[in-house]
Amino acid sequence: MGNVLTVKDLKTAYKSRLGQYTYAVDGVSFELQEGRTLGIAGESGCGKSTLALSLMAFYFPPLTYLSGEICIEGRNIMALPYEELRRTILGKELAYIPQAAMNALNPTKRVLNFVRDILREHCPEKSKEDVQKMLAERFALLGLPERAMYAYPNELSGGMKQRVVIAVSTILDPAVLIADEPTSALDVTSQKLVMKMMKDMLRLGIVKSIIYITHELPLLRHITDDIMVMYAGQIVEHGTTEQVIFDSIHPYTKALMGSIIVPEEGAKDWKLAGIPGAPPNLRHRIEGCRFAQRCRYCGEQCPNHTGQRNRALSDGRFYRCDLAEAQLREVYARDYQR
């Protein structure tokens, strides 16, 4: 299968009223193949949500596009006028489930009327009856009761509102669905339902591929094929889910995994280790390694803390570090014995 989404050297920033830039997404490149789910993980403030907004071309102040390409099936959407982008790409090729999606519905409108307003922009030829039929079929496919179409948002439970937002976001069968922490405000049962629903949409061909954003790395084990780990606006590791979770290679990814409680046999005796310090201030350009000040392995072996060497391993993964794989595995064998 070919690539549905290709991103090349994407750079976006937040511009203050004084003209200062905070470089939230700095040189991000990746490819997403049809039929696969890509997870994006990292701690709060690493640029995950900004990357999602950037991929959707939601460039409204203070978010500013600087450079790079975002190609949907070979078509660079950043070269399109915004009106054409809104009519032909957003919702149809790219769909977005925002953070706090449960608050995304209009509280003064029934769900059906809310969807009619959306489709009036993208499919003006659709009648009210057509919209009602489309929504009813989508609700039935995703296990939502038909009565939810005629409800106000406050009449729905949190889990049901979340599922309704997912149904509405995918009503036009987009090529790529970008889900920004869609289960963070839900209980465990509702989380399981939402993740199952998203996997079903991929299996049924409702969407071609999914980007799933979260700060919970273990959660990605159950839904993604590949994982990208972000730190300070850059991708520091990219590999399959099994590689990143069970055989992390970048010091930041390894530290993240070492700070997580996992439900494994004997885990209660494991020692957890936090990551010291705080992420760097992205208002200033950082030419060297952005994790250097927090990395326990940074020292003489990292000349000038450049951190700019992108290393590709034989198993297909990529990581961004000056230290070679053999050096890292040697220190991990000593420090991460559980």
Q: What angle do CA 105, 142, 131 make, to 5 degrees?
A: 60
Contact 211, 32 (CB under 8 A): yes
More confident call, 72 vs 333: 72
Q: What confidence category does residue 126 fall into, taking pLDDT thresholds of 50, 70 and 90?
A: confident
Tell me how far apart the alpha carbons of residues 42 and 338 are, in angstroms, rounded to a whole number. 23
Arithmetic mean of pLDDT, 253-268: 71
Peptide bond before 62: cis, by omega within 30 degrees of 0? Answer: yes
pLDDT-wise least confident of 43-57, 112-126, 297-311, 319-333? 297-311
Q: What is the mean pLDDT of residues 78-92?
A: 90
One-letter amino acid of 176: V
Burial zone of 217 (CB within 10 Å; 0-12 exposed, 13-18 middle, 19+ buried):
buried
Q: What is the rounded average pLDDT for all residues in the chain?
A: 87
Please state the rounded mean pLDDT for residues 304-321: 79
| pLDDT band at residue 260 under the 50/70/90 scheme | confident
Sequence-distant (6+) residues with CB within 8 A of 12 are 24, 25, 50, 54, 59, 63, 64, 65, 66
Average pLDDT of the segment spanning 277-294: 85
> What confidence tens digit (pLDDT) does each residue in 163-219 have?
899 889 999 999 999 999 888 777 788 788 888 888 999 999 999 999 999 887 778
Spatial distance between the Cα atoms of 28 and 231, rounded to a whole number of angstroms: 11
User: Residue 160: pLDDT band by 50, 70, 90 thresholds?
Assistant: confident
Q: How far are the Cα atoms of 5, 40, 206, 258 from residue 1, in angstroms, in the given order?
A: 12, 21, 16, 35
| Percent of the residues in the chain that have a pLDDT greater than 70, as a whole number | 92
Residue located via tokens 């390894």: 254
CA distance 12 to 24: 6
At 10-61, the pLDDT tens digits run 999 999 998 899 999 999 999 999 999 999 999 888 999 999 999 999 999 9
Domain segments of the chain: what residues? 249-335
Q: Which has the minimum average pLDDT: 245-259, 284-298, 317-331?
A: 284-298
Q: What is the pLDDT of residue 305?
A: 64
pLDDT recorded at residue 213:
94
CA 270 to chain centre: 29
pLDDT at 206: 92
